Structure 1
Amino acid sequence: MTADLSPTAEQIRDARAHLAAIDPALAAIEAVTPEFPWRTAVPGFAGLLRLIVYQQVSLASAGAIWSRVEAGLGEVSPAKVLALEDVDLQGMGLSRPKVRYARAIAEAHVSGLCDLNALRHMSDDEASAALMAVRGIGRWTAETYLMFCEGRLDVFPAGDVALQEAMRWTDRAEIRPNEKQAYARAEAWKPYRAVAAHLLWRCYGAVKKGEIPPF
């Protein structure tokens, strides 16, 4: 059984309190945003492949495809992926590009180019760089992997549109920040940028669901 690397509820509450104390603008969001669980996924090859499957498709479609991938592979491992032909992987619902990415991830892990089991012993920057060295892995994927699969507290996927929109609410801005601006703004939230991201996502979702009034 894989250990749960995500922070505890107490750690999240402490981090939220810290963020509210250091940033008055974020404090207004924090005060009305409900508690949230950490978004978790299994670390290693299966967790990274799942992130790839879920990219650029609806949650319902991604869930169905992932179920077929799990059933088709039996064990979600690099060896299982590399043992199959492209047509077999496509038969599970993977697009041609995602088949290439799945193979690239599997080959990188097996060759040692990006040993997914070793990432947790690297710094955030080192781990991000190792992931982005693999074909098909961009910065957003690397950062969300480190956040969801390894429970890291200080990564921030600034390219995420929902995060950018919630940041616009936070700063009462007319235009949401671009990726570069979002990274710069999030510097103030170190060493809990991942908690800030979860807070902003939860705020965004709560507004969309009508749980809290819009900003």
Structure 2
Amino acid sequence: MWKEYYHAPGMYDFDYALKRLSLDPLINVNKKERYVDVPLKLAENDQCVVRVKAEGTIEKPVFSVMSDHDEQQDVIFEHIRNIFQWDKDLQEIHDYFQGSDLSLLFFTYPGTPIVRDFDLYGSLMKTLIHQQLNLRFSYELTSRFVKAYGKEVDGAWFYPTPEEVAKLDYEDLKQLQFSQRKAEYVIDTSRMIANGELDLKEISRLTNEEVFKKLGAIRGIGPWTVQSWLLFGLGRDDLLPGADIGIQNALKRLWKMETKPLKDYIEEKAEDWAPYRSYAAITLWRSIE
């Protein structure tokens, strides 16, 4: 067992990050002890579970990273740092919004981080499954999928590989209560990844616009799915989904409007929040939870 500490810059509300992560029944979170167990795929047959624990406060964030996987400690630590985006100075982002129409929200909810999903492929599968479903059933359906075809290691769940999902029939997922179309989207996309037509690591290096073009051309992947993957799969800083109902409800309350603002109006106003529109989005969502 090895253990390493990290002092993040600025501020960081890890307890809120744990609260969001705890919504997913596949993720082992202990809010009282302030830790989460992160399943990491280092290579095709090299998996490990890493415990990430808060040791400090919002104002002075310190984290411990522990694992009994003694090899590739530097690689593991880099993965964890990228997932939790500890190099982002949230104090700097907080200061950026002072004087804006979101200043009160950032004062009320300081240090709200964007935590990336643990795996690019798992993130895309989760996003595909969640689209057009209510939150409760979307997590239930994702859990059925992962528990049926994934792997549990030390209490942490790993998503199945694209190669494993590519071998499934649509009927296999329909037995889990997937619709025919959702089963097709999940399996067909996995087949594209498995046969090399779609390289998620390569796509992750593209600009937002290029990712929209590349993923948006795939059957079943629309703008909401691409935006969600960019935000939570890649942790991009500057995305605000103006069509999202939660964003619309939060801004309706913030702006004291009688009806929800329209997508085009939101996106026009949100130009003032660039280049940190993703942090505006996560803070707006938090304001109505």
Same fold (TM over 0.5): yes
Give 1:163's aligned residue: 247
Cα 1:9–1:118 change in 2 (3 A) is closer
Give 1:210's aligned residue: none
Give 1:54's aligned residue: 130
Give 2:278's aligned residue: 194
Which segments of 5 or more consecutive residues in structure 1 lack a partner in the other structure?
A: 206-215
Choose which of 95, 114, 129 in structure 2 pairs with 1:17.
95
Report the alpha carbon displacement of residue 128 of structure 1 after superposing the two structures with TM: 2.1
Higher strand share: 2
CA distance in 2, matches of 1:106, 1:181: 36
Cα 1:99–1:39 change in 2 (3 A) is same
1:1-36, Cα deviation, whole Å (9 max, x unpaired): 252334338623321221224x1x111222223543
Report the alpha carbon displacement of residue 157 of structure 1 after superposing the two structures with TM: 1.5
How many equivalent pairs are there? Answer: 203
Secondary structure, counterpart of 2:200 in structure 1: coil
CA distance in 1, matches of 2:188, 2:216: 11
Give 1:213's aligned residue: none
Tell me if 1:138 matches 2:216: no
Q: One-letter code of the match for 1:69?
A: F
Give 1:98's aligned residue: 182
Of stretches 37-46 and 82-91 in structure 1, the one that deviates more from structure 2 is 37-46
Contact 2:166 2:194 in 1 (8 A): no
Cα 1:144–1:53 change in 2 (3 A) is same
Q: One-letter code of the match for 1:16?
A: H
Give 1:153's aligned residue: 237
Cα 1:84–1:176 change in 2 (3 A) is same
Larger Rg belongs to: 2
Of stretches 84-93 and 54-63 in structure 1, the one that deviates more from structure 2 is 54-63
Cα 1:119–1:18 change in 2 (3 A) is same
CA distance in 2, matches of 1:92, 1:83: 16
Secondary structure, counterpart of 2:269 in structure 1: helix
Of stretches 191-200 and 105-114 in structure 1, the one that deviates more from structure 2 is 105-114
Higher helix share: 1
CA distance in 1, matches of 2:198, 2:274: 26
Q: One-letter code of the match for 1:99?
A: A
1:30-63, Cα deviation, whole Å (9 max, x unpaired): 2223543424313322111111222333333222
Which segments of 5 or more consecutive residues in structure 2 lack a partner in the other structure?
A: 1-39, 42-78, 151-158
Contact 1:54 1:62 in 2 (8 A): yes
Cα 1:41–1:127 change in 2 (3 A) is same
When normalised by structure 2's length, the TM-score is 0.63
Greater RCO, CA 8 A, separation 6+: 1
Choose which of 126, 140, 148 in structure 2 pairs with 1:72.
148
Q: One-letter code of the match for 2:147?
A: A
Of stretches 82-91 and 34-43 in structure 1, the one that deviates more from structure 2 is 34-43
Contact 1:155 1:194 in 2 (8 A): yes
Counterpart mapping for 1:82-121 below 5 A: 82-110=166-194, 112-121=196-205
Q: One-letter code of the match for 2:183?
A: V
When normalised by structure 1's length, the TM-score is 0.83
Tell me if 1:128 matches 2:173: no
The alignment's C-alpha RMSD in Å is 2.2
CA distance in 1, matches of 2:93, 2:282: 11
